[in-house]
Amino acid sequence: MSTPNRFKVTVVGSGNWGTTTAKIVAENVAIHTNVFDPEVRMWVFEEVLDGEKLSEIINTRHENIKYLPGVKLPSNLIAVPDLVSAVEGSQLLVFNVPHQFLSRICKQLKGHISSKVRAISCLKGLEVDDQGVRLLSDYITGELGIHCGVLSGANLAPEVALEKYSETTIAYPLPENHYPGDATGETWQMLFHRPYFHVRVVNDIAGVSIAGALKNVVALAAGFVEGKGWGENAKAAIMRRGIIEMIKFCKIFFNKNEIETFTQESAGIADLITTCAAGRNVRVGSEMARSGRSVEEVEAELLNGQSAQGMVTAKEIHSLLENKGLLDEFPLLEITYQMAFNGYDIDNLPAFFEKIR
């Protein structure tokens, strides 16, 4: 049976979350063979491990021994170390790299991608500069000229990789230049929905992106409180204020007010809960508060030298709010920055909240 118009898919990124999403996608294209090309490519930043190339290890042993050890990958998932070859001919791209690599990747891809290509960003973060703030999906659209949605949810990667039940949210409104045969929200749902990974599709790209970015700052604050031994009530109070400021951030900077994204979707409240329960940022914040050690020391110990995204985002948000004269509007985000970078004493938090209630 000929199926000429099947979507070819590439996952750009192969960290633990990148590899996990590539596994999911590869499982699904093998089922929905009338919709997708049955081979999925994953761009791998090449590394040599004990004399062997990581891409070759993945392609022969079907395991990403560096970033997702112990998890069997589907054999229709092909690691490709050259970025441009990896995306060549693909209609659907899944971006899943750390935020700091995005700009270089876009530069490399520029000119190699048709405007008919569609993308989903799994990145967490925001693009902040002197002009203001931009969503990473908008950044991708700006750099590559392709429509880009987002995927975010209560998705601790190690749990999803082990096929423990999770939910996620995909935001994918149709683009203005939608064409016959073009991908829709349903296409992306088919690509990601698994019996252990349930997908809901919404239109609110800003809400999903902002929840995914700001949760890391809130988790840092939750960690500070946890590390001080304040308990679950205080942690929940931080999260409650976090949700409120996320909603406000979305409204002020993106003029969007779909609060259901935050209160009812996995990308909102559920992701915040998961992230504050066991994510990297809460662990870093907790250990900083407990031990009094610097973020660098704690990151070196807990994250193998990787960085806690919440620290970066807290700093960016602070400079954004300062530029815009809006520090007072986001007391939790700002006080988290002050605790993280300026030695603001966490013990003052209750008195601070008293003042701003």
Cβ at position 212, least distance to a copy of itself in Å: 14
- Biggest CA–CA distance in the chain, Å, is 70
Could you say whether residue 355 binds a copy of itself (CB under 8 A)?
Answer: no
- Expressed in angstroms, the distance from the first to the final Cα of the chain is 66
Could you say whether residue 302 binds a copy of itself (CB under 8 A)?
Answer: no
> Binding site for substrate: what residues are annotated?
124, 280-281
Q: Which of 39, 143, 167, 182 binds a copy of itself (CB under 8 A)?
A: 167
Could you say whether residue 31 binds a copy of itself (CB under 8 A)?
Answer: no
Q: What is the dihedral of CA 290, 291, 294, 300, to 10 degrees?
A: -100
Mark whether 248 is an active-site residue.
no
Q: Nearest 5°: phi and psi at 80?
A: -130, 120
Q: Residue 34, exposed/middle/buried by CB under 10 A (0-12, 13-18, 19+)?
A: exposed
Cβ at position 236, least distance to a copy of itself in Å: 4
Distance, C-alpha 123 to centroid of its chain: 4
Distance, C-alpha 207 to centroid of its chain: 13
Report how many residues bind a copy of itself under the rule CB under 8 A: 46
Could you say whether residue 152 binds a copy of itself (CB under 8 A)?
Answer: no
Q: Residue 110, exposed/middle/buried by CB under 10 A (0-12, 13-18, 19+)?
A: exposed
Could you say whether residue 244 binds a copy of itself (CB under 8 A)?
Answer: yes
Cβ at position 47, least distance to a copy of itself in Å: 28
Which residue in 8, 23, 215, 235 is the catalytic one? Answer: 215
Catalytic site positions: 215
Chain residues binding a copy of itself by CB under 8 A are: 154-156, 159-160, 164-167, 195-196, 198, 200, 225, 229-237, 239-240, 243-244, 259, 262-266, 269-271, 273-274, 277-278, 349-351, 353-354, 357
